[in-house]
């Protein structure tokens, strides 16, 4: 066993080498690069203010469930597509000119707000019809099921449906006093209803269709989906596309989300904390450069270590534990002198000592595995007997080691 005793004059020290300095520089460069990368990612997230993924049917989303492709096609066809995220702004835009309102489901608005929003619109296209919206705007229409994945012809007189041709509907509806197209599963994939507006001249046209299954980016190019969408939404020169959100509500009381309750400075602080954690982990976890070898100045024999531990136990008053350590060390050393295994029991060692005429079997067994001492004096006596027994075994078995 080798023990490094600090403070010895013989201790060897090694100066930092060129490779060590080079490794330290590379480590610091890696830390700086990691911090820059974390800062760029955090700045892009905070600067973009888009911690949450855009919702389905969002006309600015390029995700499979978004509808940016449809909004771009309508704009290319000369339609003035206005994307609004406030129901008040949407109502104001609809009052300016004859326009089409694209309305998804808006659970954050009251019945009165939905009615006020849709009243000034020339056309209303419900692309995510729910029971409440159908009741308010489509005169009690209702969703009745889901169609199979099969092509269905329009089978109605609505011009936009006839020009679009067959589609693969999903949600189907039924309604009264409305044109019904694409029959499937006991309902119809498209409802078109025209009514006389009570507070404005002319009529208002309301269309209900499952836009999530037909008009999203992943489905728009299939069958007659794009033609149907352009026909329903491109009837007027202006299209107001309302995108509802939890924050845009007139309901009271409002149950804000966790993100809305969180102050705006929390997100940058989280990014900064993550960067600090990464830097601390690299600083504390990376050892720069190779380990430096050092010659140990002092070598301590295993026997001295055993005796030292025994003295510590003796000082603490645990004479039984100290005696056990002394007997174990002596038994192992004597067993090796006798050519036995270091794990030999006290009985086996005592028998071997008796065969070698070093000691009687009873005396050797009593010394190696007798009753534990109860005092420091008895422990000292046991140590002397163990030392004499070991010396006698070494002298009898290896007399050349004791020769002058």
How far is 352 from 334, CA to CA, in rounded Å?
Answer: 10
* Statement to judge: residues 367 and 317 lie in one domain: yes
pLDDT value at residue 15: 43
Going by pLDDT thresholds of 50, 70 and 90, the confidence category of residue 210 is very high
Query: 57 in a domain, yes or no?
Result: no
* Statement to judge: residues 271 and 138 lie in one domain: no
Structural domain tally of the chain? 3
pLDDT value at residue 290: 63
Select from 254, 287, 320 the last residue of a domain.
Answer: 287
* Statement to judge: residues 278 and 390 lie in one domain: no
R_g of the chain computed on alpha carbons: 45
* Statement to judge: residues 35 and 132 lie in one domain: no
Mean pLDDT of the chain: 81
* Statement to judge: residues 132 and 236 lie in one domain: yes
Both tokens assigned to 204 = 């208002």
The pLDDT of residue 84 is above 90: yes
Residues 6+ away with beta carbon under 8 Å from 281:
none
The pLDDT of residue 354 is above 90: no
* Statement to judge: residues 106 and 173 lie in one domain: yes
What's 338's DSSP letter?
A: T
3 state DSSP class of 329: helix
* Statement to judge: residues 308 and 394 lie in one domain: yes
Both tokens assigned to 185 = 């599963």
Residue-range definition of the domain harbouring residue 29:
25-51+262-287
* Statement to judge: residues 191 and 88 lie in one domain: yes
How far is 165 from 150, CA to CA, in rounded Å?
Answer: 13
How far is 248 from 400, CA to CA, in rounded Å?
Answer: 101
* Statement to judge: residues 206 and 336 lie in one domain: no
Across the range 98-110, mean pLDDT stands at: 93
Select from 175, 209, 244 the last residue of a domain.
Answer: 244
pLDDT value at residue 10: 39
The pLDDT of residue 330 is above 60: yes
3 state DSSP class of 239: strand
pLDDT value at residue 63: 92
The pLDDT of residue 398 is above 50: yes
Query: Of the spans 222-226, 296-300, 394-398, which averages the highest pLDDT?
Result: 222-226
* Statement to judge: residues 230 and 315 lie in one domain: no
The pLDDT of residue 141 is above 50: yes
Closest-CA residue to 129 (of 118, 120, 119)? 118
Query: 121 in a domain, yes or no?
Result: yes
Q: Which of 57-61, 241-245, 362-366 has the lowest mean pLDDT?
A: 362-366
Both tokens assigned to 101 = 């309102």
**Report field, pTM of the whole predicted structure over 0.85:** no
Query: 79 in a domain, yes or no?
Result: yes
pLDDT value at residue 65: 93
- The rounded percent of the chain whose pLDDT value lies above 70 is 75
List Cα–Cα distances, 57 to 60, 65, 215, in angstroms.
9, 6, 8
Across the range 303-310, mean pLDDT stands at: 64
Query: 39 in a domain, yes or no?
Result: yes
pLDDT value at residue 48: 47
What's 337's DSSP letter?
A: H
C-beta of residue 282 within 8 angstroms of C-beta of residue 344? no
Closest-CA residue to 173 (of 153, 190, 158)? 190
Closest-CA residue to 234 (of 205, 214, 201, 212)? 205
List Cα–Cα distances, 203 to 101, 121, 197, 211, in angstroms.
14, 10, 5, 24
- 225-284 tens-digit pLDDT: 999 999 999 999 999 999 998 888 888 655 566 666 677 788 888 888 888 888 887 777
Pick the residue with more confidence: 78 or 277?
Answer: 78
How far is 109 from 390, CA to CA, in rounded Å?
Answer: 96
Across the range 100-126, mean pLDDT stands at: 93
Query: 253 in a domain, yes or no?
Result: no
* Statement to judge: residues 47 and 182 lie in one domain: no
Parallel/antiparallel/unpaired status of strands 238-242 and 203-209: unpaired
DSSP 272-312: HHHHHHHHHHHHHH---SPPPP---SEE--HHHHHHHHHHH
Pick the residue with more confidence: 154 or 375?
Answer: 154
- 284-306 tens-digit pLDDT: 766 555 666 666 666 656 556 66
* Statement to judge: residues 216 and 357 lie in one domain: no
């Amino acid at each position: 066993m080798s023990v490094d005793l600090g403070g010895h004059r013989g201790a060897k020290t090694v100066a930092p080498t060129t490779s060590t300095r080079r490794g330290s520089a590379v480590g610091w460069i890696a830390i700086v690069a990691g911090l820059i990368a974390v800062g760029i990612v955090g700045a892009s997230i905070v600067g973009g203010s888009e911690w949450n993924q855009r919702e389905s049917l969002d006309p600015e989303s390029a995700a499979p469930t978004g509808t940016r492709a449809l909004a771009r096609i309508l704009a290319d066809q000369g339609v003035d597509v206005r994307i609004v995220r406030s129901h008040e702004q949407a109502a104001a835009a609809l009052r300016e000119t004859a326009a089409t309102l694209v309305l998804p489901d808006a659970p954050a608005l009251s019945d009165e707000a939905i009615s006020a929003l849709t009243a000034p619109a020339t056309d209303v296209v419900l692309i995510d019809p729910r029971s409440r919206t159908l009741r308010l705007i489509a005169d009690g229409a209702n969703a009745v099921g889901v169609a199979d994945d099969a092509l269905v012809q329009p089978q109605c007189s609505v011009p936009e449906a006839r020009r679009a041709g067959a589609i693969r509907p999903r949600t189907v509806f039924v309604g009264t006093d409305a044109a019904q197209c694409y029959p499937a599963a006991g309902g119809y994939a498209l409802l078109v209803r025209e009514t006389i507006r009570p507070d404005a001249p002319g009529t208002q046209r309301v269309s209900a269709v499952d836009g999530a299954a037909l008009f999203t980016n992943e489905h728009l190019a299939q069958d007659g989906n794009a033609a149907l969408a352009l026909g329903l939404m491109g009837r007027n020169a202006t299209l107001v596309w309302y995108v509802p959100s939890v924050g845009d509500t007139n309901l009271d009381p409002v149950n804000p989300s966790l993100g809305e309750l969180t102050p705006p400075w929390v997100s940058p602080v989280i990014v900064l904390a993550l960067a600090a954690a990464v830097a601390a982990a690299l600083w504390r976890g990376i050892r720069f450069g190779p380990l430096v070898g050092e010659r140990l100045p002092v070598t301590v024999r295993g026997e001295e270590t055993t005796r030292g531990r025994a003295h510590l136990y003796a000082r603490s008053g645990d004479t039984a534990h100290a005696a056990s350590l002394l007997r174990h060390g002596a038994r192992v050393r004597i067993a090796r002198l006798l050519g036995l295994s270091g794990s030999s029991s006290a009985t086996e060692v005592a028998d071997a000592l008796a065969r070698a005429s070093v000691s009687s079997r009873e005396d050797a067994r009593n010394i190696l595995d007798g009753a534990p001492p109860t005092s420091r004096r008895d422990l000292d006596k046991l140590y002397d007997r163990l030392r004499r027994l070991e010396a006698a075994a070494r002298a009898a078995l290896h007399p050349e080691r004791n020769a002058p």
